[in-house]
Structure 1
Amino acid sequence: MTKIPFRVSARTARLIGRENIASSKGAIIELVKNGYDADSPLSLIYFHQERDCLYIIDSGDGMTQAVIEKHWMTIGTDNKTNDIFTATGRVRAGAKGIGRFALDKLGDCCEMTTKPKNKELSSIWCVDWRNFEGNFKTIDAVTADLSTIQELNLKEYILNEICDAKAQDVVKQYDFNSGTVLKISNLRDNWDDYFVSQVFDDLEVLAPPKEQGNFKLFLYSNDKPNQYGEILGSICDDYDYKLVARADKNQNVNIEIFRNEYDIETIPPEFFQREFAQKSPYRLDDFNKGSWRTNKTFSELLAGFKEVDEDNVFEKIGEFEFTFYFMKRTYSNPDLEKFYYNKFNANDRKDWLNKFGGIKVFRDDFRVRPYGEAKDSAFDWLGLGGRKAKSPATPSKPSGGWRVGPDNIAGGINITRLGNLEFEDKSSREGLQENKTFQIFKLIILQILSTLEVDRAILAKEMKLFYDDLYFDDFVKKDADKLAEKILENAREKQSNKGAEQENEETKEKIILSKRIEEKDEEIGALENEQKILRGMATSGIVTASFSHELGNLSGVLASRTDELIELLEEKSPQNLYQNTPDFLNPYILIEDMRKQDAKLQNWLKFSLASARKDKRRRKSIILSNYFQNFKSTWSNVLSNRMIDFSYTVDNNKLDIRAMEIDLDSVFNNLLVNSIDSFLRQKQNNKREIMLKVNTTDKEITIDYFDNGEGLSQDITDPSKIFNALYTTKRNEHTGEEIGTGLGMWLVDTIIKEYNGNVKLLYPKNKGFGIRIAFIKKYQRK
């Protein structure tokens, strides 16, 4: 056997550089990273449009001839992967060994002059990337020129190359005993001022503001010598809300919320006497502190995912820090009065957000592009815009649901190469690989963000209610005074005090009615939202009812078709002919599999058609013992297939309730489906039991429902949340996204409340789930 080597086309270099690196701006940033990795205190970028060249200069360690030959000339070298830390302790920003091909993205030719630290011999490396073009040319046939020079004065060399006085002043501030100068010529792009300014803006967010003193960036342009200079990031101190979250290796997240939106001195003391303001973090002391803290775990933030995650994704995420700023772009005077906002300069905020907005990602204090980059598709990489579109509520909406939008936020997420091993670069250097760990990480970030959203929404709602309570009576009083004056004038004219008193009494009634109308408007708004959800659910029922006849016929066909197939098959090919045939080729076994699938489909049709019956939608007296007997019979096949034991007891066989049967079906079908899902999640083969107990007292009928499944997720810190519309812990095991409707337990709660009943969660001793449903006796038969 002959072993033959691979041959690499010279075109590969072009693919890596010119076509694989997404943009020229990205290529410049890649080359700036080389200076950072060389422990340089600065990187200087100089555009000389007249000469059609670009300089990228650093005063780092430089390279020896051996390093150039062994590492610089090796495609995909792994020296930065194995040697992660620099001499000063920096974590190297590069790792793939292909960043130098960014030179090809920028221009046809490159000349690199490099002086190594503590060495007398410097090197000049030259390459013409056009040599890599041509048919049938392999990469080993293309060469670069390497020459050496003794005792090079690197600083003088740079000063001679650069003619900009301000750039020269920067060079003079550093010793340049070692360093590297990249001179790229025959530029591929037209670097007029518009594009140079874009590079300047990008570099402003290359590193977090706190790191500016460690590594300085300078940019100058020959066309605009007075327009550019040192690139400084901007620390945000004019925010409404700030969130700082720190996740440790044990999956604990410490979250601190800073409130800067409210002018505390203008908030009346009575506001902090309201019931909600007696609890942390809404007390006056909490406001005076300026911030409050809470602790969460990954499991609590992404409730339900840990139970379905077989890859231990939470453990792969690692430590990170997240800093987030929320800033309104403007406000109205009524809102200023109603929500006690601090005043701010709207134009300044708008300009700052346009330049520094978006959530950036930093790895080892170096930005990972293009996350949060303005005018880029990855600006809203967390999907905040789509999230807000699904829930466009105002902050003060009584039912909550306010979401931040992508245009009002800024911030950064800090990760590390050593602490977040799963977050690997794409080969294009445009973002991180979209693996499962990164997808779950994004969901965790969104859940952390929701802590701020809930806090602001609660305060906005309470402030609006307080404002309405505080001033509504004044508004009404003014109107009432005007009416009273008019009534008195009429009274004097009529000289009838009795008539005036009668009209004044009518005015009071009008005021009372106007208050009641406002309350009803709020109730109607809540009911309209509820109606939207129910309308969508009703559509499914209408479709089923419309095709009930056809579906009924289909159910009949399913019951008999497998038997007919077997009869036809036995006439031509009896079963004994397939005794030694593998199962997957045995038609009788395949038909039995089909029979099982038909049975499942029959059960589904049975439930659907039963729910669509008109008699179930009429209120009538229902004897509970008969109802639960029929309920058990309907579900018998499903329960037996899943080896679930369902039992019920009714302490009075004549006990009845006046209700619509479809309502009872909605309640107990949802409870049963949740129990089945819980059993399927169990990892132990325990006996599966569902128990239902119906009891009666003089005042109420109680129905206790228990199962011995997994119970509520331990990640749910507030169990009452399960009754909120759209709240679910059912998640996709691969993406972590919600797959449950979040409507089942909400329906249970809503239906029982319509009957003036109530629900209460029970907690069985031997794990599992329990709930008590109570109906008052007025719904029993009279």
Structure 2
Amino acid sequence: MAKIPFKVSARTARLIGRENIASSKGAIIELVKNGYDADSPLSLIYFHQPKDCLYIIDSGDGMTQSTIEKHWMTIGTDNKAKDIFTSTGRVKAGAKGIGRFALDKLGDCCTMTTKPKNGELSSIWRVDWRDFEGDFKTIDSITADLSTQDNLDLKRYLLDEISDEKVQAIINQYSFDHGTVLKVSNLRDNWDNYFISQIFDNLEVLAPPKEQNNFKLFLYSHDKPNEYGEILGSICDDYDYKLVAKADENQNIKIKVYRNEYDVETISPEFFKREFAQKYPYRIEDFKRENWATNRSFSQLLEGFRDIDKDRVFEKIGKFEFTFYFMKRTYSTPDLEKFHYNKFNPNDRKDWLNKFGGIKVFRDDFRVRPYGEAKDSAFDWLGLGGRKAKSPATPSKPGGGWKVAPDNIAGGINITRLGNLEFEDKSSREGLQENKTFQIFKQIILKLLSILENDRAIIAKEMKLFYSEVHADDKAKEDADKLVKRILENARDSQKDGEIDQEKLILSKRIEEKEEEIEVMVSEQKILRGMATSAIVTASFSHELGNLSDVLINRTNELVELLERENPKDIYQDVEDFLNPYILIEDMRKQDAKLQSWLKFSLTSAKKDKRKRKEVPLNDFFQNFKSTWQNVLSNRMINFLYHIDDNELSIRAMEIDLDSIFNNLLVNSIDSFIRQKGNNNRTVELKISNTSKEIIVDYFDNGKGLSQDIRDHLDIFKALYTTKRNEHTGEEIGTGLGMWLVDTIVKEYNGNVKLLYPENKGFGIRISFIRKYKRK
């Protein structure tokens, strides 16, 4: 029987490099890890767009020619798996021996210049990954170029390669007596500022902040020399709740819960006389201490699992540490009083959470991607969003059930290669293998979260009850107001007979005051709606407005007059348009007209008389509406038609409400036309009719219509529901308020909305208003 060897196709390099590593971001991080494993004090990444290359630089131990031949050139080498620690005691981040193939993910060619620490000759290694392509090639037939160089001055080499002053300043801070420089050329991706900023954000959470002292990260871009620099982590100190859990090898966890949400000094001493506040950890001294401690075992967290744990999974999990932060993004003034919240800056929290939010996993102080990575599907790897959706209760709900939402949390889980042997990397370097141990580990983390959730929910429930008891008189006052309404219903008859007593007059006075308060609140609400509509329109046309803002507003008529004195029009008859000042001025005039149109729209929406309820003639309203939008519609070649069966038809309403309804509908139509290709007959049509009971407005456009991806079309009337998404990231970019405003306003007039489905596709909606008698 013959013994035949396996042959490995040259395509294998592509499979484990370009096609295996999920993203270029991941490839760069893999190569940064090489510098960390080489005991380098820094890793410097530099994008040189004009040369179509990037550099990844470290001042680590470097490699000898022998190391390159025996390890670097060996696929799947196990030297890091066997030799776990570096000479300075770091636990090596790499283990599979395939990280170098991340180079193939980044570009066609790579040159590695490396100077070893032991004084041996420096080496220059070159490879062209395109050599691995083609039919019938085996891996052993592909070669890389390797040469040596004596007395290489690595620092001088770098200063000659990179002329950026800031990068040179970093290079001069280190000796570079040894180290490695990777230069990747013919890049596969277009590294514009958008994607470089994503790399920068990813590297900010590559290691916990404490690790930044002995391993510094720098990133620079030739095209944006002042935008990047040293990459620093961020320690969270502005939180509402923090949980710290430390698990030992015996499956016991020490837990501390820190409360930073409450302004204890504002809490009434009477609150701490309640029954719940007589025991730990809810006593007044526990609140003043700001944290409380408890212990749990794995089996106490996952009750009943030990009885069915045939694989002894608990023993395989090992030691770990978990730090978790909960942070509200905002708060309301009533909640501030009811729950005694500490004040904070919502914008600062939002910015911090957007950058550092999510629960990360760190192994030996080096992040395991992509857990908790913003804008990644693995951001919510614990499924907190689905968990919250199943239990959307508020913290103060009597029955409990409040759960944290994924966009309000941050934290990190620390594991080690030696202490958590079951947590193996996927070969793609994108996360850990989803084995049973890891699944149970996730459940333990969720149970730890529930300790914080329960603590906050118990306190919120008790604070709400206490607030209700203290403000019981206000509740009685509310009940009295209801009584007033019933009395006033009979007041008219009593007034005829002169039987109104003093008590009823006092109550009547109270209801009048109440009505005045409501009128003020409603008026404020209308103003806010108008502002929201303007914001929606502005957001929809932000690009065009941005261009207009760069145009200097000139008094074009005066310019023409001044020009005609010295250079009459007729001398430019044979001049090219782009050299004719009169034509250029006319272009400026058109730009001014656009800007004036938007100013007119914005100012018209805020007119004081539009916030008063009055009889609004619908024919006049739609004529003015069309006039306000005419320039915008003309520029986009949109026909606006409306038909009204009674020119005298009017509706008693606030004009600002009608503006909000039809502005939002028209904005959506314009956006639909912009996204639609090949429609040369863009039309918006309104049909206004009436019956004895209703005024009906049928609104149609022949745009794209509702997305086929919407399972329930009525969802468009829900607040914050949007199908507008970023074309690069798929993120929602719409406000999700337009159709919600339409539905809300119509319902306030006791009307209703109904979706229509035109035969020629497009979008249609019927708005019905209940007719009311006119006031004499």
- TM-score of the pair, normalised by structure 2: 0.62
In structure 1, C-alpha distance between the alignment counterparts of 2:118 and 2:420, rounded to whole Å: 35
Q: What is residue 59 of structure 1 aligned with on the other side?
A: 59
Which of 1 and 2 has greater Rg?
1
**1:523-538 correspondence runs (5 A):** none
Check the 8 A contact 1:360/1:412 in 2, yes or no.
Answer: yes
Query: Is 2:193 the partner of 1:212?
Result: no
SS of the counterpart of 1:361?
Answer: strand
Secondary structure in 2 matching 1:18? coil
1:144 paired with 2:140, answer: no
* Partner AA of 2:211 in structure 1: E
- Name the CA distance, whole Å, in 1 between partners of 2:18 and 2:217: 25
Query: Aligned partner of 1:235: which letter?
Result: I
Matches within 5 A, 1:31-46: 31-46=31-46
Counterparts of 2:30 and 2:478 in 1: how far apart (Å)? 68
What does the per-residue CA deviation read over 1:485-525, in whole Å, with 9 as the maximum and x for residues that have no partner? x99xx9xx99xxxx999999x9xxxxxxxxxxxxxxxxxxx
C-alpha separation in 2, matches of 1:482 and 1:116: 86
| Identity among equivalent pairs (%) | 79
Local SS of the residue matching 1:272: helix
Amino acid at match of 2:202: D
In structure 2, distance between residues paired with 1:272 and 1:211: 42
Partner of 2:405: 405
Q: Residue 337 of structure 1 corresponds to which residue in structure 2?
A: 337
* Mapped contact 1:57–1:180 kept (Cα < 8 A): yes
Q: CA deviation at 1:303?
A: 0.3
Between the aligned partners of 1:482 and 1:245, the Cα distance in structure 2 is 52
SS at match of 2:471: helix
Distance 1:18 1:475 in 2: 67
Amino acid at match of 2:160: N
1:163, distance to aligned residue in structure 2 (A)? 1.3
Q: Distance in 2 between matches of 1:343 and 1:472?
A: 26
Name 1:712's counterpart in structure 2.
none
> Does the residue aligned with 1:158 lie in a helix, a strand or coil?
helix
Deviation of residue 118 (structure 1)? 2.8
State the distance in 2 between where 1:480 and 1:185 align.
79
- Cα deviations by residue, 1:145-176 (Å, 9 ceiling, x for unpaired): 00000011111111111111111101100011
After superposition, the Cα gap between the structure-2 partners of 1:115 and 1:256, relative to the gap in structure 1 and judged at 3 Å, is same
> How far has the Cα of 1:56 moved from its partner?
0.1
RMSD value, Cα: 2.4
Aligned to 2:710: none
- Contact preservation (8 Å) 1:33, 1:94: yes
Between the aligned partners of 1:68 and 1:243, the Cα distance in structure 2 is 46
How far is 1:95 from its partner? 0.1
Structure 2: distance between partners of 1:501 and 1:479? 20
TM-fit CA distance, 1:110? 0.4
Alpha-carbon distance in structure 1 between the residues aligned to 2:200 and 2:478? 59
Is 1:459 aligned with 2:459?
yes
CA distance in 2, matches of 1:25, 1:475: 58
Contact 1:120 1:151 in 2 (8 A): no
**Contact between 2:361 and 2:412, CA under 8 Å: does it hold in 1?**
yes
Match of 1:417 in 2: 417
Task: Kindly indicate whether the alpha-carbon contact (under 8 Å) linking 2:64 and 2:120 is maintained by their aligned counterparts in 1.
Answer: no
| Secondary structure, aligned partner of 1:219 | strand
CA distance in 1, matches of 2:92, 2:480: 74
Deviations 1:209-238 (A, max 9, x none): 111102100000000000000000111111
Q: In structure 2, how many angstroms separate the alpha carbons of the residues matched to 1:150 and 1:481?
A: 94
Partner of 2:621: none
Deviations 1:562-601 (A, max 9, x none): xxxxxxxxxxxxxxxxxxxxxxxxxxxxxxxxxxxxxxxx
Contact 2:46–2:56 at 8 Å: present in 1 too?
A: yes
Alignment-derived partner of residue 266 in structure 1: 266
Which whole-Å CA distance do the structure 2 matches of 1:333 and 1:437 have between them? 45
Q: How far did residue 477 of structure 1 move?
A: 5.5
Which residues of 2 match residues 154-173 of structure 1 at below 5 A?
154-173=154-173
1:705-739, CA deviations, whole angstroms, 9 ceiling, x for partnerless residues?
xxxxxxxxxxxxxxxxxxxxxxxxxxxxxxxxxxx
Question: Structure 1, residues 406-440: CA drift from partner, whole Å, max 9, x if none?
Answer: 01001010000000000000000000000000000
Q: How many residues align?
A: 499
Q: Which amino acid aligns with 1:357?
A: G
Distance 1:194 1:502 in 2: 70
Pairwise mapping of residues 309-348 of structure 1 onto structure 2 (< 5 A)? 309-348=309-348
Deviations 1:651-673 (A, max 9, x none): xxxxxxxxxxxxxxxxxxxxxxx
Distance in 2, Cα, partners of 1:422 & 1:314? 11
How big is the shift at 1:481?
11
1:120 and 1:152 in contact (8 A); partners too: no
1:130 corresponds in structure 2 to 130
Hey, what's the Cα distance between the residues in 1 that align with 2:479 and 2:297? 54
Match of 1:700 in 2: none
What is the CA–CA distance in structure 2 between the aligned matches of 1:481 and 1:147, rounded to whole Å?
A: 92
- Once residues 457 and 18 of structure 1 are traced to their aligned partners in structure 2, the CA distance between those partners, rounded to angstroms, is 48
Match status 1:248 vs 2:248: yes
Whether the 8 Å contact between 2:59 and 2:180 is mirrored in structure 1 is: yes
Runs of 4+ in 1 over 6 A off after TM superposition: 481-484, 499-504
Are 1:9 and 2:26 an aligned pair?
no
Partners of 1:156 and 1:281 in 2: how far apart? 62
Distance 1:392 1:456 in 2: 15
Report how far residue 473 of structure 1 moved: 2.3
Aligned-pair distance for 1:348?
Answer: 1.0
Partner Cα distance (2:502, 2:270) in 1: 35
Q: 1:465 and 1:175, CA in 2 relative to 1: closer, same or farther beyond 3 A?
A: same
| Distance in 1, Cα, partners of 2:309 & 2:479 | 62
Separation in 2, partners of 1:214, 1:317 = 29
Following superposition of structure 1 onto structure 2, how do residues 462-501 of structure 1 map, counting pairs within 5 Å?
462-476=462-476
Q: Is the Cα contact below 8 Å between 1:114 and 1:178 reproduced in 2?
A: yes
In structure 1, what residue type is equivalent to 2:357?
A: G
Q: Which runs of 5+ in 2 are unaligned?
A: 508-776
Q: CA deviation digits over 1:37-90, x for unaligned, max 9?
A: 000000000000000000000000000000000000000000000000000000
Residue of structure 1 equivalent to 2:48: 48
> Are the counterparts in 2 of residues 321 and 415 from structure 1 also a CA contact under 8 Å?
yes
